[in-house]
């Protein structure tokens, strides 16, 4: 483990050196994600200005749900965004083969190969939303609630990572995995809002099948004081199960990788 941590730090330092050579690009990348989130938040504000109470949920409560999801997504964006490019930039070009001849885990190498600085903007937006919304809601932070928040965000990031990993494995067979990954990933947009406003089928989907709701709705409900039962404590358990299952599927796909002949 220590070896991989040291290796990742070396990869990260090299990435930052590259980014600092193009500082304007770094700033534009981070700012673009902030602008993108701003557009989404504007839509929430417009809706809530017309409907102050959305099935029993107020604007600050929805912003907390939104902020938690953005924080979780930002962790995946920063540290695992390279999963989106595995087919286009690595398998199709033959560059993935170099991961197979080096004495480190191929998945680690893929993830460490690029830190995505655009995710920094998402992280800042998510953090700001959580701070502002919890102040508006009068939530009093305790060491336990802060620990719960940290665990919930990390668990949410792991859920995003696991679902992206499981779907990107399709690149070993079809090369271009983005449509498969996007078909699952885009469902996270539903989890920006309370699951109780949707038909039951969507709530079940986002809780038990594509559990983005565990990255936003259920942790937010617990912090607000709404009773969601045991579901408030499931995020780290579900995240661990999904990561394990996704990694095993990755190993299975890796065994069947034969290259493209590039």
- For 199-224, what is each residue's pLDDT tens digit? 999 999 999 999 999 999 999 999 99
Res 25: pLDDT: 66
CA count, 13 A, side-chain hemisphere, 182: 5
Going by pLDDT thresholds of 50, 70 and 90, the confidence category of residue 10 is: confident
Res 258: pLDDT: 81
Q: Which tokens hold the place of 76?
A: 């995946």
Q: Average pLDDT for residues 147-152, to the nearest whole number? A: 98
State whether residue 56 is helix, strand or coil: coil
pLDDT above 70 covers what percent of the chain? 92
The pLDDT of residue 29 is above 70: no
Spell 167-202 as b/e; 16+ CB within 10 A means b.
bbbbbbeeeebbebbeeebebbebbbbbbeebeeee
The pLDDT of residue 262 is above 60: no
Going by pLDDT thresholds of 50, 70 and 90, the confidence category of residue 34 is: low
Q: Average pLDDT for residues 78-84, to the nearest whole number? A: 95
pTM above 0.85, yes or no: yes
């Amino acid at each position: 483990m220590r070896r991989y941590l040291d290796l990742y730090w070396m990869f990260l330092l090299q990435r930052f050196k590259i980014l600092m050579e193009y500082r304007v690009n770094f700033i534009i990348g981070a700012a673009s994600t902030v602008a993108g989130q701003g557009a989404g938040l504007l839509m929430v504000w417009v809706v809530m200005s017309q409907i102050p109470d959305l099935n029993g949920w107020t604007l600050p409560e929805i912003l907390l749900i939104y902020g938690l999801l953005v924080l979780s997504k930002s962790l995946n964006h920063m540290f695992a965004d390279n999963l989106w490019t595995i087919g286009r930039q690595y398998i199709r070009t033959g560059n993935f083969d170099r991961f197979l001849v080096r004495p480190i885990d191929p998945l680690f190498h893929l993830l460490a190969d690029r830190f995505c600085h655009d995710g920094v903007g998402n992280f800042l937006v998510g953090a700001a939303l959580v701070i502002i919304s919890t102040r508006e809601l009068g939530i009093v932070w305790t060491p336990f609630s802060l620990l719960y928040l940290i665990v919930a965000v990390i668990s949410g990031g792991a859920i995003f990572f696991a679902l992206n990993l499981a779907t990107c494995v399709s690149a070993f067979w079809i090369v271009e995995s983005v449509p498969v990954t996007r078909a699952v990933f885009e469902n996270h947009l539903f989890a920006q809002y309370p699951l109780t406003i949707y038909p039951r089928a969507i709530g079940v989907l986002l809780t038990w099948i594509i559990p983005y709701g565990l990255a936003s709705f259920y942790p937010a409900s617990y912090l607000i004081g709404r009773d969601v039962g045991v579901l408030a404590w499931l995020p780290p358990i579900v995240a661990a199960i999904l990561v394990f299952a996704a990694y095993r599927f990755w190993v299975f796909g890796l065994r069947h990788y034969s290259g493209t002949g590039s």
